[in-house]
Amino acid sequence: MGIFRELRYELSALFFALGILGMVFSLTQYLAPTQSPDWLKSIHHAVGEYVVWEAFLGFLAVLAGGFYFIDTIRKEREFERLISTTSKELFVKNMRRIEELTYDHLPSAYERRFLDKKREFRIKS
């Protein structure tokens, strides 16, 4: 799961963009198939009857990519809030959650910041 953790923003944005693209292709095939440009008509012709699946999978990709992206931003902000403390007591109190965010969810750059903060407060493992 290391690569998914390191490329969290990129993968979520990719899924979101591909979902939007799939939904746009399927909607243009339904709403205005005769007014589409030639390159889009060739895509519509290639997809054919599977346009319903294209719309469904596009919708799922938009939901999954959007959720994953928003979840990453939320966890990053929580990490920033928890690590920006100047109190050693609060840092130690929240260390379990910071470790969970650091080692399970966020890229390795956050792990370095966490270890630097531990050194700053002189906390041993």
- CB-based contact 25:40 (threshold 8 Å): yes
Q: What's the CA gap between 16 and 55, in Å, rounded?
A: 13
> What per-residue confidence (pLDDT) applies to 35?
85
Tokens of 96: 């379990």
> What per-residue confidence (pLDDT) applies to 124?
87
| In the chain, where the domains are located | 2-120
> What per-residue confidence (pLDDT) applies to 1?
57
- The 3-class secondary structure across 47-102, one letter per residue, is HHHHHHHHHHHHHHHHHHHHHHHHHHHHHHHHHHHHHCCCCHHHHHHCHHHHHHHH
**pLDDT tens for the 125 residues of the chain, in order:** 578 889 999 999 999 999 999 999 999 988 877 888 888 889 889 988 899 999 999 999 999 999 999 999 999 999 999 999 999 999 999 999 999 999 999 999 999 999 999 999 999 87
> What per-residue confidence (pLDDT) applies to 97?
97
CA angle 107, 110, 114 (to 5 degrees): 145
> What per-residue confidence (pLDDT) applies to 44?
87
Task: Please name the amino acid found at residue 94.
Answer: N
Core vs surface per residue 53-65: b (16+ CB within 10 A) or e: ebbebbeebbeeb
